[in-house]
Amino acid sequence: MTLELVCPAGTPSALRAAVEAGADAVYCGFRDETNARNFPGLNFSAEELHEGIRFAHRHGVRVLVAINTFMRAGIADAAADPWKIALACAEDAGADAVILADLAVLDHAATHHPGLRLHLSVQAAAATPEAIGFYAEAFGVKRVVLPRVLSVEEIAVLNQAIAVETEAFVFGGLCPMTEGRCALSSYATGRSPNLDGVCSPPEHVDYAQAPEGTTARLAGFAIDRFAPTQLAGYPTLCKGSFVAGGKTSHLFEDPVSLNAAGLVARLAKAGVTALKIEGRQRGKGYVAEVVRTFRAVVEAVETGRDPVEAERRLSSLVEGGRQTSGAYRKQWR
């Protein structure tokens, strides 16, 4: 049993950090709306991807390219279609796989790039054996990144029923909503993960300072408020504080990060092939520390050594300073 550690790279320097810290594979995306972390200043040019892949391959590390948003309607000139360009660039650069979500992009890849290995992005939200089986049969998808809605028990049952590999998130930012099926961001701001590759985009973020504290607003909606001494959070819509039924609460999700380090052994037993770390928008310091820690976790699990104190080691890097095992434990629901 060997678990593959799949690590984030928002920039070439983060890619090098992940490779040096012990990643088995690194995932990244192009600097445009074709991937779900389309934030300003982030991601790779075609040239940077070529160079990054050369570097990773020299160290025996695979590179997976995320092209996981949904193709825009009404692109008249196929030669100028960013999603088609991205697929061609990824293949040309020698990507070991592409991570896709959209039926149109999958169909194009399967038809025009038969040599590319296809992974199904979490953004495709395929959570049942029937849906996963469909993607495998229709497009030859080899691996599915599991939606963050399944418990470990459900993953074990699922793996019995499907013929493709599964990849499960083990650390990082946590969407409480089913990814790829959330339009909260565009409702407030006009820009969404599916259409633009961004959630709660920074150009709509505003921090208003007042003596009693800071109010974080997204497109004018007060998403959260922080006392002067309290840690501030990035105003991601679903992690905000809201009022419903007369109660003020983090209705959708508390500002916490996923840390499933303690569940790695059970995920392995459930038949998971790869463990994924979230955080392409985070710095290389984060990438290096999280990858090193999970490399140690995986080694401890594989050799039956004492568990690594991952929660303690990573506590300073997580949002809100708090960690959860999310939907992997049924109580989360």
In contact, 87 and 68? CB cutoff 8 Å? no
Supply the minimum distance, in Å, between the C-beta of residue 205 and other proteins.
4
Residue 194 binds to other proteins (criterion: CB under 8 A)? yes
The helix/strand/coil state of 208 is strand
Calpha distance 294→197 (Å, rounded): 27
- Nearer to other proteins (CB atom), residue 222 or residue 265: 222
CB of residue 103 to other proteins, shortest distance in Å = 4
Interaction of residue 22 with other proteins, rule CB under 8 A: no
CB 327 within 8 A of CB 148: yes
Among 59, 92, 163, 190, binds other proteins (CB under 8 A): 190
Helical spans, DSSP H, in 225-282: 264-269
Q: How far apart are CA 232 and CA 26, in angstroms?
A: 30
Site map 59..98 versus other proteins, x via CB under 8 A: -----------xxxxxx-----------------------
Q: Does 291 bind other proteins (CB under 8 A)?
A: no
Query: What Å distances lie between residue 257 and 14, 260, 316, 326, CA to CA?
Result: 20, 10, 11, 9
Strands 323-324, 118-120: pairing is: unpaired
* Selected binder of other proteins within 54, 153, 160, 285 (CB under 8 A): 285
- Compose the 97-126 pattern: x for residues touching other proteins by CB under 8 A, - for all others: ----xxxxx-xx----------------xx
Residues 133-162 that bind other proteins (CB under 8 A): 133-135, 137, 149-150, 154
With respect to other proteins, which residue has the nearer C-beta, 22 or 176?
A: 176
Number of residues that bind other proteins (CB under 8 A): 104
Contact between 231 and other proteins per CB under 8 A: yes
C-alpha separations of 204 from 193, 282, 319 in Å: 14, 19, 20
